[in-house]
Chains A and B, each alone.
Chain A
Amino acid sequence: MQRTGKEVALWSIALTLVLLYALIPVILIISLSLKKPADIGDGKFLPQSVSFDNYDNVFSTDTFNSALRNSIGIALIATVISIALAALAAYAITRLEFTGKALILTGALAIAMFPPISIVGSLFDLWRRIGLFDTWLGLIIPYMTFSLPLAIYTLSAFFREIPWDLDKAAQVDRATPWQAFTKVMVPLAAPGVFTAAILVFIFAWNDFLFATVLTSTDASRTVPAALAFFTGASQFTDPTGAIAAAAVVVTIPIIIMVLIFQRRIVAGLTAGAVKG
């Protein structure tokens, strides 16, 4: 298709505007992270001289390193458990008729819409009493709970697309229900599994509310919460540059995660159909 010069020009302007709108905050934070502490307040958009001092600084503090460890660990564990439970629940919901099925689905949706802020206070109290306060488990449980409904909905949409005949074929081929589920259903729903996994991981990774309220030390504080407690290299340095550097670092795992899974999602979607 041939485009006229005018069309090309208009599209270029539109795309540039969208890109600027989306990327300026990102560029700004990268720029801040690369400035020398003394230059932070110079009012320039781009750093006059590039320095990685802030990054050195960030990684030399225990606060950030342990926060990063906590974030990765908690988000991964929450994702794995949530997806495993959601896959089982979604399979049952799509394949079985049982009483209370509608109730479960409505309940799941209600939980997904429930504002976390309304329970975080009582959760704080409860967690302190039963000893879950400031532990990994204390964060994994709420992350799992709030991400499960979304994962169940996503996965049941994918399971519903898988022809019922495949379950039956697996059963006749002497597979146990568990084998049919793990060898046939889950591989076929892989795109759905990865989609759900990304969503759950991002939710857990980005959460700030639970992370600030339910943690108090480096033992379980995740990066979003830890950022708020950043001081600079010393008590008396402005932490802006360090926070910017940490913010950049914390974005990287998400980008990697999406890039890896995106490829899997596309691969899954183009796999063979049942009949032609």
Chain B
Amino acid sequence: MAEIVFDDVTKRYPDGYEAVKSMDLEIADGEFMILVGPSGCGKSTALNMIAGLEDISGGELRIGGEVVNQKAPRDRDIAMVFQSYALYPHMSVRDNMAFPLTIMKVPKEDANKRVEEAAATLDLQQHLDRKPSQLSGGQRQRVAMGRAIVRDPKAFLMDEPLSNLDAKLRVQMRAEVARLQDRLSTTMVYVTHDQTEAMTLGDRVAIMRAGQLQQVASPMELYNHPNNLFVAGFIGSPSMNFLPGRIHDGVLKLPVGDIAIPDSKRAQLGDTSADQPLIVGIRPEDFEDAAVVGSDSRGATFRTTIDVLEAMGSEYYAHFTISAEGHELQENAELRELQEDAGGGALATPDSFDVVARLDQTSRLRAHDTAEIWINAAKIHFFDPESGRSLAAQQ
């Protein structure tokens, strides 16, 4: 068991490309840390640097207080679970799990006992003598974890371990990983591109973008107080809606209408009389069917036509389009990347914005209805359109 410290760590490839830029991160002993971000953000590179599978170009990486920059993977005493599981196909499950012990020349009896224990933990006893090719995806995944835990290493590294499983199994294995980490309380670094995994698993989540850490915080902190546009858009599903806004004479002007700025937000906005452009973020659950909301709650309402209504059982997802009406969403690199990550190639058309709202299950709205939608003004997030920084975080 040990803490892992990134001290100004940089990974530069020979062609000059920097996959990880001056990363500073402290992962405490026994902590479950998630590295999350879109593909190509450097999260796997960071993990491979901990494992020793990638050289470190600059800075210092310490495991348990010891600088490991020059150490070979086998001398770092860490265990890793790969996305492809990387089970040795020519060995039985037992031999796969015992492989690190055999290498370490652990006495046969002791090794056997540890394999049996790990197998019991992971419910693999009856599969010990089978070959990996005879196992299902979930079982292979467990064997890969078994191979990691038999050794009692300083830290576990997991590289998108659940991404090859189908959706149902993934949810099940997610709980299993969480239980495992809870029981072993060994430092664990877990890489994923899935924000749901990041939110549900980690003690803390480190969000990366283009080789740089964006924010490191607990899942709820990230959700409620995102540092910048990228974090705000990446965390949460459905993701946060972004609208262009303007503060004018103490009033927030949005394409949907004017909203009085609540006192709680006034401080972070500074001088509200100046005519400053903003990007405004509203989470889907901060919209509501006005008919459901009591008349006493503060906020603003606007009328729109529901394009699509998705019934989720416990709630509805309402999709509607807001026309820009002279408001323009400024070009922002973070927004563009979020959009690309979500699968949409182009940015939203400049003259209208697609918005997703999460409505209560008691709402009586139907698709194509003209609806009165309420916005919870107290939960609105404000971002600087130039830097993408959250105005709340700038204080």
Contact = CB atoms under 8 A, between A and B. Distances in A.
A179 to B, nearest CB: 6
A271 B86 contact: no
Contacts of A188: 88-90
Contacts of B77: 174
B192 to A, nearest CB: 17
Nearest to A186: B90
A91 to B, nearest CB: 16
B84 A165 contact: yes
Contacts of B151: 173-174
Nearest to B51: A172
B53 A273 contact: no
Interface centre among B131, B133, B151 (most CB of A within 10 A): B133
A171 interface: yes
Given A163-B86, A171-B53, A173-B99, A272 B80 contact: no
A116 interface: no
A276 B86 CA distance: 12
A165 B82 contact: yes
Contacts of B157: 172
Nearest to A273: B133
B382 interface: no
Interface string A87-111: 0000000000000000000000000
B72 A272 contact: no
A169 interface: yes
Contacts of A271: 89-90, 131, 133
Contact of A169 (B72, B82, B90, B136): B82
A172 B73 contact: yes
A72 interface: no
B104 interface: yes
A173 B100 contact: yes
27 contacts: A163-B86, A165-B82, A168-B82, A169-B82, A169-B86, A170-B99, A171-B74, A172-B53, A172-B79, A173-B99, A173-B103, A173-B151, A174-B74, A174-B77, A174-B151, A175-B74, A175-B99, A179-B103, A187-B90, A271-B133, A272-B132, A274-B84, A274-B85, A275-B137, A275-B140, A275-B164, A276-B140
Given A172-B79, A190-B90, 7 more contacts: A166-B88, A168-B82, A169-B88, A174-B74, A271-B89, A274-B84, A276-B136
